[in-house]
Structure 1
Amino acid sequence: MERTLDQNKTPILEALNNVKNMRIVPFDVPGHKRGRGSPELTAFLGEKCMNVDVNSMKPLDNLCHPVSVIRDAEALAAEAFGAAHAFFMVGGTTSACQAMVMTACKKGDKLILPRNVHISVINALIICGAVPVYINPQIDKRLGISLGMSVRDVEKALAEHSDAKAVLLNNPTYYGICSDLKKITELAHARGMQVLVDEAHGTHFYFGGDMPVSAMAAGADMASVSMHKSGGSLTQSSLLLTGKNVNAHYVRQIINLTQTTSGSYLLLSSLDISRKNLALNGREIFRHVTDLARYARDEINKIGDYYAYSKELKNGDTIYDFDATKLSVNTLGVGLAGIEVYDILRDEYDIQVEFGDIGNFLAYISVGDTDKNIERLVSALSDIRRLYKKDRSGLLEYEYISPTVVTTPQEAFYAEKTSVPLQECLGGICAENVMSYPPGIPILSPGERITGKIIDYIEYAKAKGCFLTGTEDLAVNRLNILKGGI
């Protein structure tokens, strides 16, 4: 007889409370023994937190092989998100993205994907040896941002690489731009390919009203969802959702290749509690978030020179839809790079936005925000325009450069390499990632040709204060390139 799922239930939370009330004497890990062995940490985090920082035990199930409370919590999450299965991930959406790629592809298999993917996807290619077939995204030259995947470009890639195993999409992008996910899914399925969706910034699509279509509703096979971003769970907690035609037992095996055997019950319980909140209250929560974002956009656009963009960008293809909860703001009209506005907001106004890049910044709005906070942001931006506005000449006006791929990420990353000063790398083949974080989209990936335009971009990003990562040289003054070229 099929069990009835009750979205009011929180199986992991309830089990943790039961264990806490039993007052068990711990002769297991963690070694702080409910906080007593680490008084300074307990004073900082509190006894309530330390009491439930526990390891797997029979009453609490096991994340690697769930048979009781974690299994039940995952089943509730699957129902709430409209998926066949849901997996609790404690390695962030990075681990969920990598599990998707490694489930769908083995060494030598082709994966069709946009080049402006998160670094986690590139790293998955390095690990498993799959071969990327990149679709270079089109660019909005006014905003300087890359767009979604064009259906026409996807059709072309599918025809030219009919042996590919899967198609991967970012949906939505960091800026809120959505592709025609349903149409692309139908095209890929017609050719027997799986559809993987990096849905890190789309948790709310499953619960809010008047939202872009979610990956599961569009028929995708797998989706990685950052519950900690817009879903309210703790940082590093995430979900991997799968559709009905995916072997969930194999997915679990893939996850267990890299995920810890000591899953944090703080993270797991936060997923459980947040799922309940979204299932019961999500529509109202995200109506409020959408209203806050709309008000903020209207007020910012009244200031002048800034452009807080939204659904007016929709073009039926590369911007098929837009996530109206995103407060993405173009700053080039003020004569400042997005990262410069980011720094001024933080250093001068004690306002921390999500990220800034060459021409834009993103202020992440969630259920935790208030009208007062929005007013403070708008006021600060008005001040910045008055105090810091300058001529925009000399500003770079794009955040993406189409790469020339010479060899696969895995081959390049593990090849013999040499460290060369950045300005001497022209024409070389990169053997490591170079990216600005956030958003974590590589400027260069292993196996790509280093051009003068890319070198100029890296130098410009460094000069503007972007936080560049991925390189062996922490100062990014040198790059690892392949010895002898290709």
Structure 2
Amino acid sequence: MVHLSQDRAPIMEALNKYRSMRVVPFDVPGHKRGRGNKELANFLGEQCLSVDVNSMKPLDNLSHPVSIIREAEELAADAFGAKHAFLMVNGTTSAVQAMVMTACKAGEKIILPRNVHRSAINALIISGAIPVYVNPGVNHELGIPLGMSVAEVEKAILENPDAKAILINNPTYYGICSNLEAITELAHRHQMLVLVDEAHGTHFYFGEDLPASAMSVGADMAAVSMHKSGGSLTQSSFLLINNDISEGYTRQIINLTQTTSGSYLLLSSLDISRKNLALHGKEVFEKVAKMAQYMRDEINRIGGYYAFSKELINADTVYDFDITKLSVHTLDVGLAGIEIYDILRDEYDIQIEFGDIGNILAYISVGDRQLDIERLVAALGEIKRRYAKDRSSIFEHEYITPQIIYTPQEAFYAPKQKLPISESAGYICSEFVMAYPPGIPILAPGERITKEILDYIAYSKEKGCFLTGTEDSKIEHINVLKEE
């Protein structure tokens, strides 16, 4: 295999050349390189707006790339070890949906864990594919879902030999990894495609001593959030394909939903960030891993908090752990993760990634400074001193296994009625309820609403979790299937 020169950034180079030509624009966007919107230009910078341009012959076209975008795709594929890479500007959500829709047509089955991001279940609503859920393992002490057990995946395969694909969420938001290689080999033995939601695993391709990446174990497709740990602009991602997946057909699927007005700000950020990681990723993520480990050690010294890591590995549902993740269990200080999230933001001006009922996640990257790290550690110590309570006041919760009655598409489009959420136990949900982040549904269309789930939703609201997904923005009412 011939490796390409990773010090190229063809989209950035073409934009610089185009800017130097001083072309008179009689095309869109209408701000005309910022001249038509001075306030925006002052806010974002004239240099930024000068490359917010339309697709044209010298700059290629994202929907059908033949020149510089095509070259950027080939460089990305080379960097990630894939057969081909697509530059995605509708976020990893669209990459996950493109994977599912490429692998499965309406009425075909896909095996997946229930603790997937809403984008995967949205893909089932759009496509009409039928989910076969594998319940993830659960860590009862932490109250978090884990990875997929190989034995549970095999059971699902044997019970559903007609399934077309398996979707694996790797790593989870908390850094938990499944046995990607074993599941991939198992699926391929049964002629099923392997799709990996690697939204939080960009660094697996470039760092050392990190969990296996999807492409390295022979998976067929992977959705990679370059904007998370890879340094590109928000909303920019890669979709990687491998093996016998058709590039042309996958692009057709992508073009069903992705914008025809691809932002060159997002595209160039993908191009530049890929170049940076290909050339310097090893050093970048070595530094990130060291920072995360230092913070784990310091936080665990405080007492009460538990910043977990590789000690969770059990060779099955926790096959590996992403040591760049700073996931911290908070219940032993008597505070829900979301409460600490709010205190950090409101009283210490520290914005972490998310807090749920029992945990917080601080996203660590090469952009962090030692001063910032010390500030977060000190704030957590002070929060414990000022706010710690008896753990008995905390709602003990862990992953709730859903009762699946209808497919997501059937339930979402079925005749429905609106009920007060407090009176909905026993009905079938026709919409989502989820805390965002992380965007993993508490309820998804087609699932039975239970008292246990309603108690969890009520507690989440009480503690200040940002709930989304229902037609009612206040989450006071919920749409359920209309009873005949």
Smaller-chain TM-score bracket: over 0.9
Partner of 1:250: 249
Alpha-carbon distance in structure 2 between the residues aligned to 1:311 and 1:194: 29
Q: What is the CA distance between 1:184 and its match in structure 2?
A: 0.2
Alpha-carbon distance in structure 1 between the residues aligned to 2:134 and 2:448: 16
Q: For 1:367-395, what per-residue CA distance to the aligned partner results, in whole angstroms no more than 9, with x for missing partners?
A: 10011111000000000000000011132
Partner of 1:401: 400
Q: What is the CA distance between 1:4 and its match in structure 2?
A: 6.2
Q: What is the CA distance between 1:399 and its match in structure 2?
A: 4.4
State the AA in 2 paired with 1:105: C
Matched, 1:48 2:51: no
Partner of 2:444: 445
Alpha-carbon distance in structure 1 between the residues aligned to 2:62 and 2:292: 37
Give the share of equivalent positions with the same residue, in percent. 70
Listed as ranges, the matches of 1:464-483 within 5 Å are 464-483=463-482
**Unpaired runs of 5+ in structure 2?**
none
Alpha-carbon distance in structure 1 between the residues aligned to 2:311 and 2:396: 21
Q: Contact conserved, 1:141 with 1:397, CA < 8 A, in 2? A: no
Partner of 1:90: 89
SS in 1 for 2:166: strand
Matched, 1:175 2:167: no
State the AA in 2 paired with 1:418: Q
Partner of 2:165: 166
Partner of 1:109: 108
**Unpaired runs of 5+ in structure 1?**
none
Partner of 2:225: 226
Partner of 1:462: 461
Q: Contact conserved, 1:60 with 1:69, CA < 8 A, in 2? A: yes
Q: For 1:80-107, what per-residue CA distance to the aligned partner results, in whole angstroms no more than 9, with x for missing partners?
A: 0000000000011000000000000111
Q: Contact conserved, 1:196 with 1:222, CA < 8 A, in 2? A: yes
State the AA in 2 paired with 1:251: T
Q: Contact conserved, 2:4 with 2:75, CA < 8 A, in 1? A: yes
Listed as ranges, the matches of 1:135-146 within 5 Å are 135-146=134-145
Q: Contact conserved, 2:226 with 2:238, CA < 8 A, in 1? A: yes
Partner of 1:345: 344
Q: What is the CA distance between 1:244 and its match in structure 2?
A: 2.3
Matched, 1:268 2:267: yes
SS in 2 for 1:220: coil
Partner of 2:121: 122
Q: Contact conserved, 1:8 with 1:276, CA < 8 A, in 2? A: yes
SS in 2 for 1:328: strand
Alpha-carbon distance in structure 1 between the residues aligned to 2:410 and 2:65: 36
SS in 1 for 2:215: coil
State the AA in 1 paired with 2:305: Y
Q: What is the CA distance between 1:186 and its match in structure 2?
A: 0.3
Partner of 1:356: 355
Alpha-carbon distance in structure 2 between the residues aligned to 1:400 and 1:470: 19
Listed as ranges, the matches of 1:173-322 within 5 Å are 173-322=172-321
State the AA in 2 paired with 1:460: Y
Alpha-carbon distance in structure 2 between the residues aligned to 1:331 and 1:149: 25
Listed as ranges, the matches of 1:409-420 within 5 Å are 409-420=408-419
Alpha-carbon distance in structure 2 between the residues aligned to 1:457 and 1:166: 32
Alpha-carbon distance in structure 1 between the residues aligned to 2:397 and 2:306: 15
State the AA in 1 paired with 2:61: N
Q: For 1:51-110, what per-residue CA distance to the aligned partner results, in whole angstroms no more than 9, with x for missing partners?
A: 000010000000000000000000000000000000000011000000000000111000
Partner of 1:372: 371
Q: Contact conserved, 2:334 with 2:393, CA < 8 A, in 1? A: no
TM-score in terms of structure 2 length: 0.99
Q: For 1:196-216, what per-residue CA distance to the aligned partner results, in whole angstroms no more than 9, with x for missing partners?
A: 000000000000000100000
Partner of 1:6: 5
Matched, 1:389 2:384: no
Partner of 1:99: 98
Describe the shift of the 1:3–1:202 C-alpha distance in structure 2 as closer, same or farther (beyond 3 A).
closer
Q: What is the CA distance between 1:400 and its match in structure 2?
A: 2.1
Alpha-carbon distance in structure 1 between the residues aligned to 2:115 and 2:56: 41
SS in 2 for 1:217: helix
State the AA in 1 paired with 2:482: K
Partner of 2:334: 335
Describe the shift of the 1:321–1:422 C-alpha distance in structure 2 as closer, same or farther (beyond 3 A).
same
Alpha-carbon distance in structure 2 between the residues aligned to 1:227 and 1:53: 20
Moved over 4 A (4+): none
State the AA in 2 paired with 1:43: N
Q: Which moved more, 1:186-195 or 1:399-408?
A: 399-408
Alpha-carbon distance in structure 1 between the residues aligned to 2:3 and 2:365: 31
Alpha-carbon distance in structure 2 between the residues aligned to 1:361 and 1:159: 37
Partner of 2:151: 152
TM-score in terms of structure 1 length: 0.99
Q: Contact conserved, 1:400 with 1:443, CA < 8 A, in 2? A: no
Q: Which moved more, 1:44-53 or 1:389-398?
A: 389-398
Alpha-carbon distance in structure 1 between the residues aligned to 2:449 and 2:477: 12
Q: Contact conserved, 2:397 with 2:456, CA < 8 A, in 1? A: no
Alpha-carbon distance in structure 2 between the residues aligned to 1:4 and 1:478: 56
State the AA in 2 paired with 1:126: I
State the AA in 2 paired with 1:150: S
RMSD across aligned C-alpha pairs, in angstroms? Answer: 0.9
Q: Contact conserved, 1:357 with 1:399, CA < 8 A, in 2? A: no
Q: Contact conserved, 2:136 with 2:147, CA < 8 A, in 1? A: yes
Q: What is the CA distance between 1:3 and its match in structure 2?
A: 7.8
Partner of 2:62: 63
Q: What is the CA distance between 1:397 and its match in structure 2?
A: 2.9
State the AA in 2 paired with 1:71: R
State the AA in 1 paired with 2:220: D
Alpha-carbon distance in structure 2 between the residues aligned to 1:171 and 1:397: 26
SS in 2 for 1:277: helix
Q: What is the CA distance between 1:137 and its match in structure 2?
A: 1.1
Alpha-carbon distance in structure 1 between the residues aligned to 2:395 and 2:71: 51
Alpha-carbon distance in structure 1 between the residues aligned to 2:296 and 2:59: 45
Q: Report the number of matched residues.
A: 484
Q: Which moved more, 1:133-142 or 1:181-190?
A: 133-142
SS in 2 for 1:341: helix
Alpha-carbon distance in structure 2 between the residues aligned to 1:473 and 1:257: 29
